[in-house]
Amino acid sequence: MIADPVTGETLATTGGAAAGLPEAFAYARSEGGRALQAMSYAQRAAMLSEALKVMQTKKDEYYAISLANSGTTKNDSAVDIEGGLFTLGFYAKLGAVLGDARTLKDGAASMLSKDQLFQSQHLMVPIRGLALFINAFNFPSWGLWEKAAPALLSGVPVVVKPATVTAWLTHRMVADVIEAGVFPQGALSIVCGSSAGLLDALTPFDVLSFTGSADTAAKIRSHPVIARDSVRTNIEADSLNVTVLGEDALPGTPAFDLYVDNLVRDITIKSGQRCTAPRRALVPKAVMHAVAEAAAGKLAAIRVGNPRNAETVMGSLVSREQYDSAREGLALLNTEASVLFDGTAQPLIDADENSACMGATLLGVRDADAAVEVHRHEVFGPVSSLIGYKNASHAIDIAHRGLGSLVASIYSADLQWMASTAEALASSHGRVHVVSPEVAKTHTGHGNVMPGSIHGGPGRAGGGEELGGLRALAFYHRKSAIQAPSNVLELVEQHSTELKV
């Protein structure tokens, strides 16, 4: 069932288990795959541009769906809608540069014989299968296009299974581009509702990309097609992202102010329902109180409620289930933290206690070293926990206790401190975002995923890697070392272009 999380109104319903999945998948592979791979990278890039144009004329409808189904304000809907279209356009541009080629060269050729007649060249060719995306509820648009753009550019047909609760927008976008006929038949398919049978329909040359919980990720990895048939899998799961205030950034400094501004923004954008939101805010122990006070002042100004009211700054969580889950998580974190700001008591604008609206909460962890839950339980809502650290190495240790996250950010004016901390955090974070007062106005934001930077993190975060510009194409290609006579390689390279990331 698809509902309005503010009013509770039912918007749409989805069906049960889909029939004929193996046949549908076979059609996607043969018809969709064949048609896509008959095109060059530049032709497929042009196809992405066409899809973008089709959707740009329908943005008002997408915003209306997002408002009704995700309960988000216009600004928060834009993160998903504009973010998705921007990423699609980004890959259309990147792909055009690859020109007439149909395969990619990975690195240079190397000689295998002294007479230079026998060489090796690593080649990347599009996979022979399809790409199945099992997506999360928080980004019905961006979650589709950040995966589908590199897949389709690679010549790989896509089947997307959006999270049911917000499947409407994904469904509408897919229907729009299919109706407009910009993709070959079988290139893009959607399954809404039950996910039964999806994994069973995969074969060894397909790939699977999943965004969701660590529990579901574990089940996916243990499924026979993954465990036995080695279906290539990309997983993005839970993430206890950190944002770190530098030791130099005392109250009153520009870095301190930047930290507080960005913390409040990153907690509240999309009601904290971004996998990149900073769940753990690491600050020098001595300034913890000052940070709490400054952040509380700003959080108090965030009015929560029905996104249809212009007074509302922060809309709803995506469903009542998510609301309950966030409240439970908050209670769990409260066992080892104190409430420094409680927005849940604020009156809601045009919404009642049955809605999924939830004010922001800032917690303060009582004992950084003894705390356990704050490092492993992700509350997927407008919630973050301040943690006081003693020195730089203590901050890094605390960050690593998240056991792998998507993003860490650092705010400071001390260049050396930022450089060494960034390097140390790189081993446990897929992205490290460093902000000095110099880039206050130009930095791209802790929580924003730029399509040119990789998105994914080790360990608890799932160990996956998406985006990163042309790096994303590797997932949809097979790499093979072609060892061959030089005159054969020359022929192979006629259809190939160098992959430069």
Q: Which positions from 261 through 290 interact with a copy of itself, judged by CB under 8 A?
A: none
Give the up-direction half-sphere exposure of residue 182: CA atoms within 13 A in the CB hemisphere: 20
The catalytic residue among 192, 275, 378, 465 is 275
Among 306, 465, 473, 476, binds a copy of itself (CB under 8 A): 465
When asked if residue 8 is in the footprint of a copy of itself (CB under 8 A), the reply is no
When asked if residue 22 is in the footprint of a copy of itself (CB under 8 A), the reply is no
Q: Output 253 or 453, the one with its CB closest to a copy of itself.
A: 453
Tabulate helix, strand, coil % of the chain (nearest 5): 40, 20, 35
Residue 362 main-chain phi, psi, to 5 deg? -110, 125
Q: Output 117 or 372, the one with its CB closest to a copy of itself.
A: 117
**Residue 95 structure tokens:** 């792909």
Give the up-direction half-sphere exposure of residue 14: CA atoms within 13 A in the CB hemisphere: 21
Among 321, 366, 488, 498, binds a copy of itself (CB under 8 A): 488
| Span of 65-73, 93-101, 356-364, 468-476 interacting with a copy of itself by CB under 8 A | 468-476
Among 9, 19, 60, 114, binds a copy of itself (CB under 8 A): 114
Q: How far is the CB of 469 from a copy of itself (least distance, A)?
A: 7
Cβ pair 125, 477 in contact under 8 A: yes
DSSP, res 252:
T
When asked if residue 125 is in the footprint of a copy of itself (CB under 8 A), the reply is yes
Q: How far is the CB of 409 from a copy of itself (least distance, A)?
A: 9
Q: Output 113 or 338, the one with its CB closest to a copy of itself.
A: 113
When asked if residue 118 is in the footprint of a copy of itself (CB under 8 A), the reply is yes
Residues in Cβ contact with 59 at an 8 Å cutoff, skipping those fewer than 6 apart: 81, 85
Q: How far is the CB of 30 from a copy of itself (least distance, A)?
A: 13
Q: What is the CA radius of gyration of the chain?
A: 24
When asked if residue 44 is in the footprint of a copy of itself (CB under 8 A), the reply is no
Long-range contacts of range 190-193, CB-CB < 8 Å, 24 or more positions apart? 190/159, 190/160, 190/161, 190/162, 191/18, 191/21, 191/159, 191/160, 191/161, 192/14, 192/15, 192/161, 192/162, 192/164, 192/167, 193/14, 193/15, 193/16, 193/18, 193/164, 193/167
* Interaction residues for a copy of itself, span 399-418 (CB under 8 A): 400, 403-404, 415-416, 418
Cβ pair 472, 150 in contact under 8 A: yes
Q: Output 172 or 460, the one with its CB closest to a copy of itself.
A: 460
Site string for a copy of itself, 299-328 (x = CB under 8 A): ------------------------------
Report the alpha-carbon distance of residue 496 to residue 501 in Å, rounded: 16
When asked if residue 89 is in the footprint of a copy of itself (CB under 8 A), the reply is no
Q: Clarify whether 498 is annotated catalytic.
A: no
Among 9, 19, 60, 115, binds a copy of itself (CB under 8 A): 115
Q: Output 31 or 50, the one with its CB closest to a copy of itself.
A: 31
When asked if residue 495 is in the footprint of a copy of itself (CB under 8 A), the reply is yes
If binding means CB under 8 A, how many residues of this protein chain bind a copy of itself? 92
Report the alpha-carbon distance of residue 281 to residue 164 in Å, rounded: 32
Q: Which amino acid is at 342?
A: D
Q: Output 280 or 429, the one with its CB closest to a copy of itself.
A: 429
β-strands 361-365, 337-342: how paired? Answer: antiparallel
Site string for a copy of itself, 361-400 (x = CB under 8 A): ---------------------------------------x
The SS3 of residue 306 is coil
When asked if residue 468 is in the footprint of a copy of itself (CB under 8 A), the reply is yes
Q: How far is the CB of 117 from a copy of itself (least distance, A)?
A: 5
| Span of 4-12, 171-179, 223-231, 273-281 interacting with a copy of itself by CB under 8 A | 223-231
Give the up-direction half-sphere exposure of residue 344: CA atoms within 13 A in the CB hemisphere: 19
The catalytic residue among 236, 247, 378, 466 is 236
Report the alpha-carbon distance of residue 207 to residue 337 in Å, rounded: 41
* Interaction residues for a copy of itself, span 436-455 (CB under 8 A): 436, 438-439, 442-444, 450, 452-454
Among 430, 447, 473, 475, binds a copy of itself (CB under 8 A): 430
- 3-class DSSP string for 359-425: CCEEEEECCCCCCCHHHCCCCCCCEEEEEEECCHHHHHHHHHCCCCEEEEEEECCCHHHHHHHHHHH
Among 3, 237, 287, 356, binds a copy of itself (CB under 8 A): 237
Q: Clarify whether 192 is annotated catalytic.
A: no
Site string for a copy of itself, 175-204 (x = CB under 8 A): ----------------------------xx
Alpha helices of 28-141 — where are they, by DSSP H? Answer: 33-37, 41-56, 59-70, 74-97
Q: Output 386 or 489, the one with its CB closest to a copy of itself.
A: 489
Count of residues in the chain:
501
Q: How far is the CB of 413 from a copy of itself (least distance, A)?
A: 10
DSSP, res 459:
G
When asked if residue 93 is in the footprint of a copy of itself (CB under 8 A), the reply is no
* Residues annotated as part of the active site: 236, 275
